[in-house]
Amino acid sequence: MALVRQGIAGWPADGSAVLGSSLGGFYATAVAQDTGWPAVLLNPAVDPARDLAAYVGELSAFHAPEERFFFRAEYIDELRGLVVPRIGHPERLFAIIAKGDELLDWREMSARYAGAQIRLLDGSDHALSDFDEHLPHILRFLKLAD
């Protein structure tokens, strides 16, 4: 997160936005709260410290199983430190949440982002394989299209 904050430090307050999916949605929520920027959240992780605690240790990369990496216990503490206890200005957030998400509970995501604009999908999946269908809604929310 320090690298993200460093990377966006010079971005203009007007016209900037943040978008994140899954764990990236968790990070995007923190960035949006820090900056006041609008955020688009795609099946955002709500409590990654809880969800990832079981994965501490050596792991294989999901998309390249031959690649190994270490997920350290201190990462859990770092995630806990990034939790936004109460979302201010939920109207600045747009969450796309799939009931068909096989990893995250749509009810938990919907509750976390109550007050935000939510596009609740009856199906789909964690990867939002039907992303193209949602792009026009994202562009409208970000005021990049009519």
In the prediction, which pLDDT does 5 show?
92
Provide the residue type at 43 as one letter: N
pLDDT exceeds cutoff 90 at 13: no
Catalogue all structural domains in the chain, each as residue range(s) with its CATH number: 16-46+87-146 (3.40.50.1820), 48-82 (no CATH)
Do 13 and 35 form a contact (C-beta atoms < 8 A)? Answer: yes
Half-sphere exposure of 136 (CA within 13 A, CB side): 2
Half-sphere exposure of 32 (CA within 13 A, CB side): 28
Name the 3-class secondary structure at 56: coil
Q: How confident is the model at residue 146 (pLDDT cuts 50, 70, 90)?
A: confident
Q: How confident is the model at residue 127 (pLDDT cuts 50, 70, 90)?
A: very high
In order of 44, 52, 65, 85, 112, the CA distances from 103 in angstroms are: 11, 11, 19, 22, 16
